[in-house]
Amino acid sequence: MASRKEGTGSTATSSSSTAGAAGKGKGKGGSGDSAVKQVQIDGLVVLKIIKHYQEEGQGTEVVQGVLLGLVVEDRLEITNCFPFPQHTEDDADFDEVQYQMEMMRSLRHVNIDHLHVGWYQSTYYGSFVTRALLDSQFSYQHAIEESVVLIYDPIKTAQGSLSLKAYRLTPKLMEVCKEKDFSPEALKKANITFEYMFEEVPIVIKNSHLINVLMWELEKKSAVADKHELLSLASSNHLGKNLQLLMDRVDEMSQDIVKYNTYMRNTSKQQQQKHQQRRQQENMQRQSRGEPPLPEEDLSKLFKPPQPPARMDSLLIAGQINTYCQNIKEFTAQNLGKLFMAQALQEYNN
Amino acid sequence: MSRFFTTGSDSESESSLSGEELVTKPVGGNYGKQPLLLSEDEEDTKRVVRSAKDKRFEELTNLIRTIRNAMKIRDVTKCLEEFELLGKAYGKAKSIVDKEGVPRFYIRILADLEDYLNELWEDKEGKKKMNKNNAKALSTLRQKIRKYNRDFESHITSYKQNPEQSADEDAEKNEEDSEGSSDEDEDEDGVSAATFLKKKSEAPSGESRKFLKKMDDEDEDSEDSEDDEDWDTGSTSSDSDSEEEEGKQTALASRFLKKAPTTDEDKKAAEKKREDKAKKKHDRKSKRLDEEEEEDNEGGEWERVRGGVPLVKEKPKMFAKGTEITHAVVIKKLNEILQARGKKGTDRAAQIELLQLLVQIAAENNLGEGVIVKIKFNIIASLYDYNPNLATYMKPEMWGKCLDCINELMDILFANPNIFVGENILEESENLHNADQPLRVRGCILTLVERMDEEFTKIMQNTDPHSQEYVEHLKDEAQVCAIIERVQRYLEEKGTTEEVCRIYLLRILHTYYKFDYKAHQRQLTPPEGSSKSEQDQAENEGEDSAVLMERLCKYIYAKDRTDRIRTCAILCHIYHHALHSRWYQARDLMLMSHLQDNIQHADPPVQILYNRTMVQLGICAFRQGLTKDAHNALLDIQSSGRAKELLGQGLLLRSLQERNQEQEKVERRRQVPFHLHINLELLECVYLVSAMLLEIPYMAAHESDARRRMISKQFHHQLRVGERQPLLGPPESMREHVVAASKAMKMGDWKTCHSFIINEKMNGKVWDLFPEADKVRTMLVRKIQEESLRTYLFTYSSVYDSISMETLSDMFELDLPTVHSIISKMIINEELMASLDQPTQTVVMHRTEPTAQQNLALQLAEKLGSLVENNERVFDHKQGTYGGYFRDQKDGYRKNEGYMRRGGYRQQQSQTAY
């Protein structure tokens, strides 16, 4: 089905990603003037990513790799990629950086673009908004400003529509990450919410004309293309999984909130209670005796304020919940359409 | 020889023949030749009588000898080691040295050693050849000895001036401690043979003469003790316990006793030195004969107690001949014997024998029962004392003796009701012979019996339970029980309530775990009038153990004041009830006693008993078909995974590293003897089957419930283990059977389930162990049918619109009313959303079970609800408003949430259904 995509839309993006990219891309475009406005992916890269997952990833395991390409004006062109080798327990001393360098050197020898422009990762039901992803994308973007992360969803792809999305951290989030201060105040000051953590960059898949010609020819030769996955009505499993994951995140969110709640309570207790009152009383007495009042500012020195919980996690969870909701929304919308179609078909047959 | 003394003289092996000893003798390893064989009595003489001085000096001479040997082979390292030891030994002997003066042999070795070392030091050639260690040792030793010898400067110079005399003494010393090796010494010694000979002839001179003189004085006493030694040998003992008793008055003499005979021998030896060894030996023998004759003559003064045994030497002499055997004498003797008790080096076996003899004497002389009872008490006590270690158990012969003795004692006590026995009777107020007044003897029969019971347990613990030996030991149980019963009867007449309680508890402890087959039989076959055979009647004469337990326990409940006895009695009572399937009594007793609340404060043995009782209770509940109760009772024991340890039926291997030796010993002592064990496999099977009967329907009912709790973790664990298996063969072990059965039950397939739970293998392993195996099996089948039906309905109700009860009844081979009642129960408990259609006998499903998606959505809604709630709380903080508007609203929200749950639907539905 991936091939079908590339065949039909050599310049157009896949149906699902256009919708997301169009909506989001505009929204984010205004929010920050990032270096990259568009990502152009070579068909080869898409195929390599899909192949990589097919061969090595299964279940909840994710596969990762490096994207290579070049920057042309405000467009990032990804022309090649290579996978990270899968980690096993017994080669713990494997040097990844060494491997990457070696790989890139080798690729340069065969005259391939060797600019490191980002990385890709597969995902399980869209659960990719994690701390790990944030950290590594931050380090990428810190080193190479244009780099993006490509998220490939194999499950959705298997259902009939290629799901490949490019994300970047917003400049705001970059600043927060640079500061490494995730306290509630800092986040508040940075005015960052889960909606403004990642920005999606529109994707264009581009193939050479020769390949397009080949695709056309192949399409003509092949018998009926098996396109019916797109129309499959059996979808409860997918929805259930999504719900389950969503629920887990909601649980985490709840816990996080409880944590935050206790923190709030503790702080307010400390600020308001006893000590201040006592000090006030003392001052009153002193005043009545005609002595100068004691200073009030040594409060924070006396009591250490409780450690504020890092809010980044809850931000990430919120972002993840958002992604799930988007997924479910998208999915149910499509399914409703399918159901109506099926109903119409039924009536027509009768 | 003295080497053996220093190693302590407790072990029996040392009491063996002198020949053996000589074989083991060459410690230094340099004694190639077999030393001269010594005659027995000589050796004994030496061994028995040793003063502190001798002991110390012997130690020293031994060390010196080793040093000399080392010097000979030029092993300086060894020399150094030994020298250090020597210094220490000398330090120990200091007090004696202060009294006696520095022994010349000691000075001699010091001087010799110094000379030797100097010689070596000068010898550059030799030094070069020496290996590194030796060279190093040489320099160290040289320095050391220089420093050391400074203290003995004057002695050494005097020795050097007159080496002869010192050599003399040394030789004498050598003679004393080892006749045999002195011969070798003589050959090998650095001192020339000539000097040796000379000094031999001079032997009786000097100091030794002093001894001779002394000997004359002490002659009488020494003979006396020699006599003692003699019988000591006879009774195969090596220790000097009797010496300590008899020798009390001869303490002074004994200090010299060792010297006395040996100097005598020295003399002889000196005379005969030139003759060859064989001749010497011969001479010794003749001398020995002489001595024996002498002894015989002297023996005339003593009364020899033969006790019907012709061997004269076997038996020790108790009383002087002609002594009138009176109470006073016997008791004095008894006290004498008893004083040795508990002392180190006392031969306990000999003591027991002595006491037994004393009893015989007392009996022969008709001293009355009081004395005999008194002595018997002491015999039993010393039998218990025989093993110094708490962990070791009695030897069978001792055990037999002990049982006999207690029996005899009981005989006497029963025959003579006028004897009072008690712990509280003081020694002074004892009345052992005054026949006019009631006899009073100190001693506690109860303690003896309790101790005996402990010993019995120890024997059982230490016997391999799978051996014939165990069976043999177990036969003694009857005897133990009989004794306990007798003591019980005795104490019922005479004892205080506390004592009665204690003996009752003993009795209970020997009764509670036995299944009363006779009573069981009687229950099964109601009495059929007069047609009973005589044998049956005889069998029935014994009290039913239930009645017995009831009587004993009730007495303890009423009279006991110590908590422990009552607790034990209650637990045993419960156990007994449970064992005999009297579930309700057992349960009520358990609940009334409130033991479950405070058992953790009890000591470990009581806790073990408690665990055993709980387990038995659980098994009993299971037999009655009360799976839930069974499960609850067994949960604590089984969930820990340490059932073996908790029941005191074995130590866990994995905790071996965690505990040290001492703890392990303590734990080992707590173990329950094998014949009281509860079959662990049976226990686990009962638990797992109960868990299966509870868990499988529950799992089916709460298939999609996110908040499902596990009833039994262990059962789930077993299921998971079963699932993990890559290949599933037919079940082999009990667990596999249960897992396979559970799987079948999950599908509602009761027949397969049945065949897995009840089959040949499981019968052999588990079910046949129950007293009423068939009853249990039928109960189990029915349970399986019922629970399978429930599971089936839970699992497949979503598939049916309606189902006929007749079909169900056919499927599960249950009769219609049962099916009806089960389904009704399920409906009432809101487990099954259905209604019964009476006329057609069908179950109509309401189809209200939400689908998986719906379930998830519901759960999500719930979670979101709580999320919102939490969020609002955060908001509250920010706003600074507490409670108020939001709070109220929230409660309302939560109440409204209820409609989402099944209950709401059901109510609406059921209204429409009827």
CB A200 within 8 A of CB A165: yes
User: In the β-sheet with A164-169, what is the strand arrangement from edge to edge?
Assistant: A198-201, A164-169, A148-152, A115-122, A64-72, A75-83, A38-42, A203-206
Going by the DSSP 8-state scheme, the letter that residue B358 receives in this structure is H
Contact B873 A254 (CB under 8 A): no
Closest CA to A314 of A200, A180, A145, A192: A192
Contact A250 B877 (CB under 8 A): no
Both tokens of residue B123?
A: 């010898």
Across the interface, of B852, B857, B863, the residue whose CB is closest to A250 is B863
- Please report, rounded to a whole number, the percentage of residues in chain B having pLDDT higher than 70: 63
Top residue of A244, A248, A250, A335 to mutate, by most chain B CBs within 10 Å, is A250
| Radius of gyration for chain B, computed over Cα atoms and rounded to the nearest angstrom | 43
Contact B856 A254 (CB under 8 A): no
CB B405 within 8 A of CB B355: no
Chain B (813-872) residues lying within 8 Å, Cβ to Cβ, of chain A: 851-853, 856-857, 859-860, 863-864, 866-867, 870-871
CB B637 within 8 A of CB B611: yes
Report the distance separating Cα B632 and Cα B629, nearest Å: 5
Top residue of A188, A241, A242, A243 to mutate, by most chain B CBs within 10 Å, is A243
| ∠ CA B287-B292-B294, rounded to 5° | 95
Closest CA to B679 of B590, B759, B609, B616: B616
Using the predicted structure, report yes or no on whether residue B92 has a pLDDT greater than 60: yes
Report the distance separating Cα B247 and Cα B345, nearest Å: 14
pLDDT of A238: 79
DSSP states of B319-351: SBTT----HHHHHHHHHHHHHTTT-TT--HHHH
Using the predicted structure, report yes or no on whether residue B316 has a pLDDT greater than 60: no
Cβ pairs bridging A and B (under 8 Å): 42
Cα–Cα distances (Å) from B604 to B564, B645, B666, B675, in that order, read: 12, 11, 10, 20
Q: What does residue A181 show for φ and ψ, rounded to 5 degrees? A: -115, 105
Pairing of strands A164-169, A38-42: unpaired
pLDDT of B436: 61
CB B834 within 8 A of CB B792: no
Using the predicted structure, report yes or no on whether residue B269 has a pLDDT greater than 60: no
pLDDT in tens, B451-488: 888 888 888 888 888 888 888 888 888 888 888 888 88
pTM of the entire structure? 0.54
pLDDT in tens, B356-400: 777 777 777 766 777 777 777 777 777 777 766 666 777 777 788
SS3 category, B398: helix
Q: Which residue of A has its CA nearest to B882?
A: A265
pLDDT in tens, B283-309: 555 555 444 444 444 444 444 444 443
SS3 category, B439: strand
Closest CA to A136 of A71, A79, A185, A66: A66
* Segments of chain A scoring below 70 in pLDDT: 1-34, 59, 87-94, 223-231, 233-236, 271-276, 279, 293-306
pLDDT of B472: 85
Report the distance separating Cα A215 and Cα A209, nearest Å: 10
pLDDT of B824: 92
Closest CA to A175 of A161, A159, A192: A192
Using the predicted structure, report yes or no on whether residue B433 has a pLDDT greater than 80: no
Residue partners of B783: CB distance under 8 A and separation at least 6: B625, B627, B693
Report the distance separating Cα B605 and Cα B501, nearest Å: 18
* Residue B334 pLDDT class (50, 70, 90 cuts): confident
ipTM of the complex: 0.71
Matching residue, tokens 């009752």: B504
pLDDT of A182: 74
pLDDT of B788: 92
Sign of the torsion formed by the C-alpha atoms of B290, B292, B293 and B297: positive
Contact A243 B863 (CB under 8 A): no
CB B545 within 8 A of CB B516: yes
pLDDT in tens, B35-62: 444 444 444 444 445 566 677 777 778 8
Residue partners of B118: CB distance under 8 A and separation at least 6: B142
Helix, strand, coil proportions of chain B in percent (round to 5)? 70, 0, 25
Contact A261 B877 (CB under 8 A): yes
Chain B (145-164) residues lying within 8 Å, Cβ to Cβ, of chain A: none
Distance from CA of B827 to the nearest CA of A (A): 29
The whole-chain average pLDDT of chain B stands at 70
pLDDT of A92: 61
pLDDT of B538: 44
**Which secondary structure element, helix H or strand E, spans residue A198, and what is its range?**
strand A198-201
Distance from CA of A252 to the nearest CA of B (A): 10
Report the distance separating Cα B775 and Cα B777, nearest Å: 5
Sign of the torsion formed by the C-alpha atoms of B826, B828, B832 and B838: positive
CB A66 within 8 A of CB A100: yes
CB B643 within 8 A of CB B677: no
Report the distance separating Cα B29 and Cα B490, nearest Å: 63
* Residue B821 pLDDT class (50, 70, 90 cuts): very high
Report the distance separating Cα B18 and Cα B281, nearest Å: 14
Cα–Cα distances (Å) from B578 to B433, B527, B609, B613, B636, in that order, read: 51, 25, 14, 8, 18
Report the distance separating Cα A268 and Cα A275, nearest Å: 12
Report the distance separating Cα A347 and Cα B65, nearest Å: 121
Report the distance separating Cα A137 and Cα A134, nearest Å: 5
CB B714 within 8 A of CB B691: yes
Closest CA to A234 of A331, A161, A124: A331
pLDDT in tens, B142-175: 787 777 777 777 777 777 777 655 444 444 444 4
Distance from CA of A210 to the nearest CA of B (A): 48
pLDDT of B262: 45
Top residue of A247, A267, A314 to mutate, by most chain B CBs within 10 Å, is A247
Looking at the DSSP bridge assignments, the partners of residue B834 are B845
Contact A260 B874 (CB under 8 A): yes
Report the distance separating Cα B12 and Cα B20, nearest Å: 12
Contact B874 A264 (CB under 8 A): yes
Looking at the DSSP bridge assignments, the partners of residue B420 are B440
Cα–Cα distances (Å) from B458 to B41, B502, B672, in that order, read: 40, 20, 10
pLDDT in tens, B599-653: 888 888 888 889 889 999 999 999 888 888 899 888 888 887 778 888 888 776 6
pLDDT of B250: 42
Contact B870 A258 (CB under 8 A): yes
CB A200 within 8 A of CB A166: yes
DSSP states of A22-53: HHHHHHHHHH---S-SEEEEEHHHHHHHHHHH
> Residues of A with CB below 8 A from B852's CB?
236, 240
CB A92 within 8 A of CB A72: no
Residue B586 identity (one-letter amino acid):
A
pLDDT of B230: 43
Contact B852 A253 (CB under 8 A): no
Contact B856 A268 (CB under 8 A): no
DSSP states of B534-597: HHHHHHHHSPPHHHHHHHHHHHHHHH--SHHHHHHHHHHHHHHHHHTT-HHHHHHHHHHHTHHH
HSE, side-chain direction, 13 A CA sphere, residue B474: 13
pLDDT in tens, B229-248: 444 443 444 444 444 444 44
Contact A257 B863 (CB under 8 A): no
CB A82 within 8 A of CB A103: yes
Report the distance separating Cα B352 and Cα B350, nearest Å: 5
